[in-house]
Amino acid sequence: MCLATPGRIVAISRAEGAPEAGSDLRDHDLWRCALVDFGGVRQQVSLACLPEARLGDQVLVHVGLALCLVAAP
Amino acid sequence: MSQENPEALIRLGHGGGGTLMRDLINAEFRRLYADPALALHDATVLTDTSGVLAFTVDSSVVQPLQFPGGDIGSLAVIGTANDLAMAGARPRHLSLAVILEEGLPLALLRRIVTSIAEACHRCGVCVETGDTKVVERGKGDGLFLSTSGLGVIATPRPIHPAGIEEGDQILISGDLGRHGLAILASRHGLELHPPVLSDLKPLWPAVQALLEQGIRLHCLRDLTRGGLAMVLQELADVGGWRFAIEEEAVPISEAVQSSCRILGLDPWHLACEGRFVAIVPAGDGDRALDVLAADGGRRIGVVTAPAQPGGGSGAGTVIVHTPLKTTRRQHPPSGELLPRIC
Amino acid sequence: MTDSAASTRFLNGPTVSRAAVMEVCGGQTHTILRWGLDQRLPAGMALIHGPGCPVCVTPLPILEAAIALARCPEVILCSYGDMLRVPVPLQGDPQERSIDLLSLRAAGADVRLITQPLQALQLALEHRQRQVVLLAVGFETTAPATALVAMQRQALELSNLHLLVAHVRVVPAMASLLARGESRLDALLAPGHVCSVIGLTEVEQLAQRYARPVVVAGFTPTSLEQALHLSSRMLERGDHGVRNAYREVVHPNGNPRAQALLAEVFEPIDLAWRGLGLIEGGGLALKGAYAEADVRRSLDRGATAAAIAPLRRLGCALETSTEAPGASLCRATEVLQGRCLPSDCPAFAGRCRPEHPLGAPMVSEEGACAAWMHYRHTR
Ligand code: SF4
């Protein structure tokens, strides 16, 4: 169940097609995206559930959503 | 013809047998023939057919038509030539049937024909005969190609899986899955960084190098659809053999590993278009490896024994030894490769 | 031979003295069988492969609705790859034949394979004249992504995007297995990625209530072996409670933001899992304003109204259907409960194979029967 892969955030942006940013901070989080590098493979993922994620962070990604930060083992 | 119009498209009339078609053939396809000036006839006469021949046919349907490291044209030519090489034959002659979909940009067709010409040159084959048809918009995927190939056997006897013997070594000519990955990545929106190119390449030069070293080739098989898992199972089935494969020895690039992890696919199931498995007698293994190692070739396993006492076909077994000192059976993929979420 | 040794170690039969540990999650089943971890278990341990494949447990009424919706010309049905191959019995077919979404696609239906739920949103934007249905499956790990789709849909007022939700909750299913006591379960491995979302509280309550050791496990062979050894030590000492063997990913509080998304969009419901029967709190349903996106509301009109009719059977106590085509043969219920091995099923590797599965566990590579077929079966 739940194939999830750790990768590193290489860029942060706002989702394509997102409506004009509202004043509401939560609304902003809903559309926050990152380009994540998985050992040479890059994919656009949503950061909606990880408002604390920053450039360079390792995140665990499942079906295009970053689920949590991955601590160094 | 419409060289001036960069937006020209294929029309149904291009397949109608009239002057439009004649012009298309003259402008686009004629350059593929050994003697482009020769008047085309209903059939071609081949004179260079001394020796034992290998004959194969292939159809190419791929989306996208152009992918990193190749396109449908180079894929068709090299794929057909490689099938001949796997029988121990030097590829010589090619037929080329083209099914175009109405609306295909002429510029794209021209790029693909150029790539066909280059691939023919790399493989040392000539297009001897061809055919062109056009289907209505929506009834073809842009472009389908069908090729057949003739080659001249260069080995003491044709290579066939029936040549596999107990104790033989199993070698692979390079890393797994880069062709399959290049295609999947474009289908599933994976950005590869740095880009991964298809492993598409002619295999005859490697086979020839093995023959020049006097390697006794008991069997060759290219790793196309179904990947390594399918090929090993099929070869094991022919003589009812048991293959023992060392998982760690199978070369897989980091990009292929990570993409497979993301899509939930097994790298052993991915197609290659420029890799093959060679099965050789134990005594020839080291020398064969010397030839293949330059391209990343590795020894991955051995033919241990008949799977069932007494042997027989259709009942081969592929046993994989994992780095954890455990074993598993490796099953071929069952059909379409579907990314998983679980 | 190594394989028969492995099976003996796995089997419950001659292992009465062995401790039975269930990995609940199908992804872990897959890793265990692919890497042969069952051949090097800690002494005295046997494994039971649990029901943790959301594809395998998706209730039939939902699959029937998906098939019926995909047959409607205005519908684009999208779902994940493993979902498209699940066989759905044709209602009232005397020959017990079945159909799946891939064969419907072959017959002309607009069925799309997606790898992320947000692609459904994209499709709805691109095809404003069509009705896009997202068949959303998965545990608490996948549900936040669906919740995000529901929220973005609302923000964008995308009324042509519809959700057919089959999300299930893992801890209630674990509780249900322990409560029945049909199979002897001495310890459980909890799925790490679910816990990365929900945290450890629910799992802790479960471990205390049933006095069992529960170890949160990752998905790599190394991580799983650590978890197995940890459970073995807990069993030896007679401990119970939760241990976290996947700390780099699982925080005790889980991901509060993801939990908030789930709470905003979904509410727990009782749901009959395919192969397991009714599980209290075992599913999720869209709630409040988000229920607007539920196919049961948004498509209850015109040609699609009939297509969603099977959904009325959902959550109904009688809907414990485990029936697969060839139902008389399929032993999925027992397999999913760890009461028999896939190879004990009379159809295994014969009538039932990955290329024509009779039951759900043969469909996804995570399914116990398919994983067994891929990595264990001798032909
Ligand atoms: S092998 Fe097939 S028929 Fe048997 S229990 Fe598994 S899924 Fe059902």
* Residues B206/B262, Cβ–Cβ less than 8 Å: no
**β-bridge pairing B70-71 and B53-60:** unpaired
% pLDDT > 90, chain B: 65
Dist. CA C90 → ligand 1 center (Å) = 18
Contacts A5 to C, Cβ<8 Å: none
Shortest CA distance from A5: residue in chain B: B262
Q: Is C128 helix (H, G, I), strand (E, B) or coil?
A: coil
- C255 and A50 within 8 Å at the Cβ level: the answer is yes
Q: Render pLDDT for B7-42 as a digit per residue (tens, 0 to 9).
A: 789 998 898 888 888 899 988 998 898 888 777 778
Q: pLDDT tens for residues C257-276?
A: 999 999 999 999 999 888 77
pLDDT averaged over chain B? 90
Per residue in B147-156, pLDDT tens? 999 999 999 8
User: Which pLDDT value is given to residue C97?
Assistant: 79
CB atoms under 10 Å from CB of B138, counted, come to 9
B305 strand-pairing partners = B242
Of B90, B124, B153, the residue at which a domain comes to its end is B153
Closest among B298, B296, B317, B297 to B306, alpha carbons compared:
B317
Residue nearest to atom 6 of ligand 1 (CA): C369
Do both B222 and B277 map to the same domain?
Answer: yes
Which residues from chain A sit within 8 angstroms of residue C247, using beta carbons? 71
B108 and B180: one domain? no
Together in a domain, B92 and B115: yes
* Assigned domain for B2 exists: no
Burial C180-200 (b: 16+ CB within 10 A, else e): eeebebbbbbbbbbbbbbbbb
pTM of the predicted structure, to 2 decimals = 0.86
**Residue-level pLDDT at B92:** 94
Which residue would you say has higher pLDDT here, B77 or B314? B77
**Which is more confident, A6 or B330?**
A6
CB of residue C347 inside a 6 A radius of ligand 1: yes
Check if B195 contacts A (Cβ < 8 Å). no
**pLDDT in the model for residue B191:** 80
Closest residue on chain B to C38 (Cα) = B326
Locus of tokens 């039975």 = C20
pLDDT of residue C327: 54
Distance of alpha carbon B80 from alpha carbon B202, whole angstroms: 9
Separation of alpha carbons C334 and C339, rounded Å: 5
A&C contacts, CB < 8 Å: 101
**Structural domain containing residue B307:** 161-329
Question: B139, B101 in Cβ contact below 8 A?
Answer: yes
Residue nearest to atom 1 of ligand 1 (CA): C348
**Residues of chain C under the 70 pLDDT cut:** 1-17, 182-183, 315-328, 377-379
pLDDT tens per residue, range B201-222:
999 999 999 999 999 999 999 9
In the predicted model, residues of chain A with pLDDT beneath 70 are 1, 21-27, 73
Q: Is the sign of the CA dihedral C247, C229, B261, C70 positive or negative?
A: negative
Pairing of strands C241-244, C213-217: parallel
Q: How far apart are CA B330 and CA C213, in angstroms?
A: 33
Whole-angstrom distance, CA of residue C373 vs CA of residue C350: 11
Conformation bin of residue B41: beta by default, left when phi > 0, alpha when psi is -120 to 50: beta
Query: Is ligand 1 within 6 A of the CB of residue C361?
Result: yes
Tokens 């994992």 belong to B322
CA–CA gap between residue B289 and residue B52 (Å, rounded)? 28
DSSP B272-334: -SS-EEEEE-GGGHHHHHHHHHTTT-EEEEEEEEESSTT--SS--EEEEE-TTS-EEE-PPP-
Q: Of B128, B153, B178, which residue is a domain's last?
A: B153
Q: Which of A1, A2, A42 sits opposite B191 (nearest CB)?
A: A42
- Which residue matches tokens 């990570």? B258
Q: Which helix (H) or strand (E) holds C224?
A: helix C221-237
In angstroms, the CA A73 to CA C253 distance is 19
- Cβ distance C366 to A1 less than 8 Å, yes or no, reads yes
Q: Which residues pair with C88 in a beta bridge?
A: C99
Task: Note the CATH number of domain A5-69.
Answer: 2.30.30.140
SS3 C198: helix
B334 interaction partners in chain C (CB closer than 8 Å):
353-355
Distance CA C22, CA C27 (A): 13
What are the distances in angstroms from CA B304 to CA B317, B327, C376?
Answer: 10, 15, 19
C-alpha distances (whole Å) from B322 to each of B8, B69, B153, B182, B242 are 55, 32, 38, 27, 16
Indicate whether B145 belongs to any domain. Answer: yes
Distance in Å, CA C334 to ligand 1 centroid: 10
Closest CA to C304 of C114, C133, C149, C79: C133
DSSP state for residue C183 in the 8-state scheme: S
On whether both B223 and B138 belong to a single domain, the answer is no
Based on the domain organization, do B147 and B235 belong to the same domain? no
pLDDT at residue number B213: 95
pLDDT score recorded for residue C373: 87
Q: Which two tokens stand for residue C28?
A: 């872990």
CATH fit for domain C1-316, picks 3.40.30.10, 3.30.1540.10, 1.10.287.70, 3.40.50.11740: 3.40.50.11740
Q: CB neighbours of C124 closer than 8 A, spacing ≥ 6?
A: C132, C153, C158, C160, C161
Distance of CA A27 to the CA centre of its chain: 15
Mean pLDDT of B235-244: 93
Instruction: Decide whether any atom of ligand 1 lies within 6 Å of the C153 Cβ.
Output: no
- Pair (B325, B178) in one structural domain: yes
DSSP string, B78-124: HHHHHHHHHTTEEEEEEEEEEEEETT-BHHHHHHHHHHHHHHHHHHT
Instruction: Specify the pLDDT at position A22.
Output: 61
Under 8 Å between Cβ of C57 and C336: yes
Provide, as residue numbers in chain B, all residues whose Cβ is less than 8 Å from the Cβ of A2.
Answer: 341-342
ipTM score of the complex? 0.92
* Structural domain count, chain B: 2
What pLDDT, on a 0 to 100 scale, did the predictor assign at position C316? 55
Would you tell me the crossing angle of helices C143-156 and C118-126 to the nearest 10 degrees? Answer: 30
- pLDDT score recorded for residue C1: 34
Q: Which of B259, B340, B341 sits opposite A41 (nearest CB)?
A: B259
Contact between C369 and C347 (Cβ < 8 Å): no
Instruction: Out of B121, B153, B185, pick the residue that ends a domain.
Output: B153
Q: Looking at the structure, tell me whether residues B175 and B324 fall in a common domain.
A: yes
- Summarised one tens digit per residue, pLDDT across range B69-119 is 999 999 999 999 999 999 999 999 999 999 999 999 999 999 999 999 999
Interchain proximity A2–B342, CB inside 8 Å:
yes
B220 and B123 in one domain?
no
Q: Are B283 and B168 in contact (CB under 8 A)?
A: no
What's the confidence (pLDDT) of residue C351? 87
CA distances, C342 to each of B92, C9, C362, C371 (Å): 51, 15, 9, 9
Q: CB-CB: which of C40, C84, C377 is closest to B326?
A: C40
Residues of chain B with Cβ-Cβ distance to C221 below 8 Å are 324
- What is the DSSP pairing of strand A41-46 with strand A32-38? antiparallel
Which burial class, exposed, middle or buried, applies to C107 when counting CB atoms under 10 A from its CB (0-12, 13-18, 19+)?
A: exposed
On whether any CB of chain B is under 8 Å from the CB of C340, the answer is no
